[in-house]
Amino acid sequence: MPILEELRQTRLKKLENIKAGNKNPYPAQVRRDYKVKEVIGKFWLWRLTKKEFYLAGRIKTQRIHGKASFFDLEDGSGKIQCFLSPADLTDKKSYDEFLADYDIGDFVQIKGSVFQTKKGEKTIRLKEIRMIAKSLRPLPEKWHGLADIEERYRKRYLDLLMNKEVKEKFLKRSRIIKEIRNFFDKQGFDEFETPMLQIIPGGATARPFKTHLNALNMDLYLRVAPELYLKRLLVGGFDKVYEIGRNFRNEGMDAHHNPEFTMLEVYVAYEDSDYLKKFIENFLKQLIKKVNNGNLAVEYESNKVDFNTRWKEKNYDDLIKEFGDLDVAKKTLIQPTFVSGFPANILPLSKTLEKNPDKADAFQVFAGGLELVKAFTEQNDPLEQRRRFEQQEKLRAGGEEEAQRLDEDFLESLEYGMPPAAGFGLGIDRLAMLLTNSHTAREIILFPTMKPKE
């Protein structure tokens, strides 16, 4: 029998012992007066007042010293040492039960008061302890240096549990999204939710995932972008709209791409791409300052990326002449850079430059070698948009599955009138990669798409 299964069987026997003692190892109700962080914060006061309280958390380490034991109790806020002795316990039998049936990884409820050990460690002296969730599998001893890194992604719950720096990355990602919402709400934008199941996938040149709705016997697609629905809101009279949500693209996977990913999309009426350059620079500076402890410089892959310097301007044609391919060129764009001058035919939803209709009135933002933002002045001429859609349909007929599909309902909405507008999309996964110094999207997506283990 494999060693892990032996350990599991041993824990199952301990579980039966607990049940045999007429105790519920998975109770529904738990008493928890404070979090560990709060206890540590009030430690010196509560030491003087001898305050008693209840905590709950997971046993992370266990040390037995004769007729007394120590263990570390951890909850989502922190970790603190606990001291367990029969002399202190209200129910003396609970100490023997602890030795016999409790393991590292178990969740417990405790009652006690604080004291300081001779070595100066903040500790809780226990009066009560009870099992509130018995763990049947042992926590891994060596997880950080795991050779099969994909196993960390498959079992992200263990990755979060055993690696503090991984947990910190995802807390930072969560804060990034909170601060994005705070910024746009303060700027007078309204957040909306648009369909993820769409009859016609649009808003980006990408291959969609296809599904079927049995209730209506019709094919639907997971959205590749929310763009065309957010623009309908501009038609409907909203001036400033945004959405943070998932997009799905049935394309390749690499360090910067996952089939499902999180985007911020923003649209503002009566503005153009020149406005967006200033807006985006201000937005990113404020956001980074908030989540990076007031610092506008971030470390990414051995480079210092400073958002407080003058942002560079590059031309698409110049980069292509120099490097032959934008995927190669973007690796050199370490400091924040605006790239403009894109061919109009690759951005069919944007306006073209009035002085050069072969070029899109658009730009992208790069930093740390990552493409973060795509922005442009939105096409609001229904006849021109139809012509651009028809060009895309020809490309699709020629085998380009990623080409935009002609959306008659969207074109009809434009015919009712959409105000001049500008919009942009920001890849939140890539921004989180940059701000946490993560080298692949998998490091910053909690549960990335993975091929099943055989």
Domains observed in the chain: 3-133 (2.40.50.140), 149-443 (3.30.930.10)
Average pLDDT over residues 113-124: 96
Q: Is the pLDDT of residue 325 over 70?
A: yes
Q: Is the pLDDT of residue 359 over 70?
A: yes
Q: What is the pLDDT of residue 339?
A: 98
CA nearest to 223, candidates 208, 211, 212: 208
What is the distance between the alpha carbons of residues 394 and 411, in angstroms, rounded to a whole number? Answer: 18
Structure tokens, 131: 């099992």
Give the HSE-up count for residue 12: Cα atoms under 13 Å, Cβ half-sphere: 6
Cα distances (angstroms) measured from residue 6 to each of 10, 131, 399: 6, 22, 56
Q: What is the pLDDT of residue 149?
A: 80
User: Contact, 311 vs 287, CB < 8 A?
Assistant: no
3-state secondary structure of 154: helix
What is the distance between the alpha carbons of residues 287 and 172, in angstroms, rounded to a whole number? Answer: 12
Residues 6 or more apart whose CB falls under 8 angstroms from that of 310 comprise: none
Q: At what angle do helices 164-186 and 273-291 cross, to 10 degrees?
A: 140
Q: Is the pLDDT of residue 441 over 90?
A: yes
What is the distance between the alpha carbons of residues 430 and 436, in angstroms, rounded to a whole number? Answer: 10
Count H helices, E strands: the chain?
14, 20
Q: Is the pLDDT of residue 147 over 70?
A: no
CA nearest to 323, candidates 331, 313, 312: 331
What is the distance between the alpha carbons of residues 328 and 322, in angstroms, rounded to a whole number? Answer: 10
Alpha-helical (H) ranges within 156-314 are 156-162, 164-186, 227-235, 273-291
Comparing 42-56, 129-143, 300-314, the range with the smallest average pLDDT is 129-143
Range 197-234 burial, b when 16+ CB lie within 10 A, else e: ebeebbbbbbbbeeeeeeeeeeebbbbbbbbbbbbbbb
User: Contact, 158 vs 180, CB < 8 A?
Assistant: no
Q: pLDDT, tens digit, for every residue of 408-425?
A: 999 999 999 999 999 999
Structure tokens, 28: 């529904």
Structure tokens, 287: 């956001």
Q: pLDDT, tens digit, for every residue of 16-70?
A: 999 999 999 999 999 999 999 999 999 999 999 999 999 999 999 999 988 899 9
User: Contact, 355 vs 326, CB < 8 A?
Assistant: no
3-state secondary structure of 221: strand
What is the distance between the alpha carbons of residues 232 and 269, in angstroms, rounded to a whole number? Answer: 12
What is the distance between the alpha carbons of residues 360 and 353, in angstroms, rounded to a whole number? Answer: 6
In sequence order, the β-bridge partners of residue 350 are 378
User: Contact, 239 vs 216, CB < 8 A?
Assistant: no
Structure tokens, 402: 């990623």
3-state secondary structure of 421: strand
Q: What average pLDDT is seen over the chain?
A: 95
Phi, psi for residue 73 in degrees, rounded to 5: -105, 130
In sequence order, the β-bridge partners of residue 373 are 365, 426
Average pLDDT over residues 115-140: 96
3-state secondary structure of 386: helix
Look at the chain and count its residues. 454
